[in-house]
Every structure is written in structure tokens, then in C-alpha cells.
Copies of this chain bind each other. A is one copy, B any other.
């Protein structure tokens, strides 16, 4: 066993850390107080800077200009840029585009790649991924009401989707819809490319989440598909592949989520320590002298480190034996890291007292936004049950 990251990566991480601190952290107050659309110009400048340094979209496949990193290294990058809420966007590592790039790269036809993948890779357009439905448990991608019916050379799509992240301003959506309701449950749905300009695609609203509707990239859309008609070559992969593609996309994607969360954990821990060291509570005494604060700092440190190693080991396992063999591990990190994230943010906020409630630090933002970590991509409870079942199955086999 060897816990040393590669020297190449160490240099990369140092560069990124510097960039994040010098260029992105100063933008955070604006990020917290202004609509995302107002930040677009300055973020475009930062993206240009990142491109010049050859750091744009490091996670893309090498043939698309990515850095050809393995999943561990990619995770470490995700953690590093995840120390600021605008990091992934600026470095071209943001969901859902990163996942869509992968899907298109793997399953797209040449024509689809030319039309959609190229500009997506370059970051000149954005996309969204339209899977979850308000009336169906998001944890079960087999249960879907949205349908795509053959009509001549077209699919006609009807249904309602929500929590379609970044739909606002996206050029196209990848929609998951039932193409064959009578098939085996896991073969019912397909993935279809839908340009958002298509008649019948209606972004009903940006869903108000934790008090904010958001805008542009930073939003979660609710979309109604009403007789939304797209040509059949907009199908991704084969008919019935929807569930498989979704799994392929979500499984390893959880590594990225987890590493991003660990980046937030690190940032929150730093903020907690800085506040502890600087806040006087009596002449000559700061919060850093308080045992309760100390125990939070220590517990958070240990929990973050442990959760981090489990995530990295999972990345290593996926790289060695494929994500299908690692569903158990993926479930474990999903809830372990999400839980750690919430505890660490909560403690950091508490150490800030009233200041922690304000938008004068990042913590109030993290507290409310990242509450979702325990919910999306399958609530923690679903992952716990699924992990336990796999363990018990193995044990019962002896």
C-alpha cells in the first residue's frame, strides 16, 4: 500500500490551490450577493486564464483535450477546485456538463459529437440532464412517467421533469424517457437529446431552492415536455439503454460529488480554525482555547481524513475493477461523505456564531445548499439499505 500522490499531481494541485486562492476566492462575496448571470463576464475571464494554463476541463477524456488523469487524480483535482463554489465551473469540471461530455463521448454518433459534444467540450455551450420527476422517487430511475413515442421519424416526448440542474441557459437537454413501457423494467427508458429551443420544451420555472430561484448555470429547472418532437437520430445509444447509461453516469459520478464535498469540508474546516484563532471571547482568550471548539476541530479533521481515504480507495477500486464491482463502495462513500459534510459545515457555522448565519462568510451558503448532499443521487437511507443488502447477500453465500 502506498498513500503518496504522484509528483505530477502534487505540482498540479499546488498550481490550482494558488489559482483558487488568488483568483476565485475574491469573487465569492459577489457570488453570494449577486445573481449568477452578473458574474458570467468575470467567470469567462477566469476560464480564459485557466485555458491558457492548460488546465481547462482536466477530467475530459485525453482525446478531447483532458489531462488523461486516473480517477484518483481526478478526484484530488475535484477536491482542490471544490474549495470554492465557483471552482468547478471555472475549471470546466462542472456537473452536469462533465457527465454529459462523457455520455456523448461514449454513446454519441459522429454527427451528435460534432454538433453537441465539440462546443460542450470547449465550454461555449451548456447542457442539462433531465431525469428526475417530481412524482417519482428520484432514487429509483426505473420509475418514470415521461414517455417518448415514435411518430414517423420523430420521438414525441411528454412528461414533467424537475431538478434539471442548469437547464436555464442550456442549449440542449439529455432526457430520460420511457420508449417501451412493456419491456423489462431496466430496458424501458432511453436517453434522447433535446435542443431546448424545441417547441414543447418548456422551462416552467427555476425551482426556488432554499429561498433562491437562481439563474443560468446556477439553477435547478422544472421542465414540461408537451408533445415535444425531436428526430429519431437524437436517440443516444440504443433504445432501452437509458437505465444503463444513467447508471454508468451516476455511479462514478458519485466519486466527483464526494471529492467536491471533501473540498468543501476542507474549506469549512479552514474557516472554522481561522475563526477560532481570531475571535476574542475575553482579554487574551480566543475561541481556539475553548475545549468544545477544539473537540469539533479534531473530530472534523479525523472524520474528513477517514472519509477522504475511503473515497480515494473507491476511486482506486473503480479504476482497477470497474464501477459495477464497486457499487457497494460507492454507496458507502455517498452517505459517509454526505454525513461528514453536514456535520463539518454545521460545526464551522456554530463556531462563527451570528456571523455564521450571515452571508459574510461562505458557511451559510454551504449550510443550506449542501443539505442536498444527503438527498440527491439517492438519499443516504436508500444507499444504506442497498449497501446492507449486498453485504448480507455476500455473507449469506458464505
Contact = CB atoms under 8 A, between A and B. Distances in A.
Interface stretch (A47-55, A230-238, A241-249, A309-317): A309-317
B387 A207 contact: no
Contacts of A291: 290-292, 381, 385
A368 to B, nearest CB: 4
A215 interface: no
A2 B313 CA distance: 8
A204 interface: no
Given A208-B33, A309-B313, A396-B277, A298 B359 contact: no
Interface residues of A, number: 90
Instruction: Count copies of this chain in the complex.
Output: 4
Contact of A359 (B33, B211, B353): B211
A367 B368 contact: yes
A42 interface: no
Given A140-B282, A292-B381, A354-B375, 16 more contacts: A1-B3, A209-B359, A211-B211, A211-B364, A290-B291, A290-B381, A292-B295, A294-B385, A297-B387, A297-B391, A298-B331, A298-B391, A301-B332, A302-B310, A306-B307, A350-B379
Contact of A137 (B2, B140, B281, B385): B281
| Residue among A5, A312, A356, A358 with the highest chain B CB neighbour number at 10 A | A358
Given A1-B316, A375-B353, A391 B273 contact: yes
Shortest 3 CB-CB distances between A and B: which pairs? A294-B388, A309-B309, A306-B306
Interface of A: 1-5, 32-33, 72, 132, 134, 137-140, 162-163, 207-212, 270, 273-274, 276-277, 279-282, 288, 290-295, 297-299, 301-303, 305-307, 309-310, 312-313, 316-317, 331-333, 335-336, 349-350, 353-360, 364-365, 367-368, 371-372, 374-376, 379-381, 383-385, 387-389, 391-392, 395-396
